[in-house]
Amino acid sequence: MRAEAALAIMLLRGREVAMIFADVRLRGVMDGIDLAREVKLRWPLLPVILTSGLPRARVGDLPLGVGYMAKPWQPLDVLIAAKQALSSERR
C-alpha cells in the first residue's frame, strides 16, 4: 500500500485503526518515515512501527515515539512488538 492511501484511510476511518506497521520504503510521494511523521502529528497516541531490511543506523531519524523493527522478522515478533506498543501508548 502507498503511504498516501494509508493516510487517506486514517482520515476516513482512523478510529478503527489500532496501530500502523509499515515499511520504511514505500512507493509513491511519501515513504514510511513521512507517513509515520504525519500520523504522529495528527494522531500522536497511535502506535507506529516501521520496518526495513536496512540496519537501524542507515534508516535515519525516526519521528519521536516511532518504533523500528529490522527485517527479517517472524510474525510472532510483530505481535509482541504490537502488544508492547499498544500497552506503552495506553500508559
Q: What pLDDT does residue 90 have?
A: 56
What is the pLDDT averaged over residues 28-54?
Answer: 93
Please, what are the domains in the chain? 3-89 (3.40.50.2300)
Please determine, for residue 83, whether its predicted confidence score (pLDDT) is greater than 70: yes
The answer, yes or no, to whether residue 34 has pLDDT greater than 80, is yes
Mean pLDDT (whole number) for 82-89: 78
pLDDT at 1 over 90: no
Complete DSSP assignment for the chain: --HHHHHHHHHHHGGG---EEEES--SSSS-HHHHHHHHHHH-TTS-EEEEESS-HHHH-PPPTTEEEEESS--HHHHHHHHHHHHHHHT-
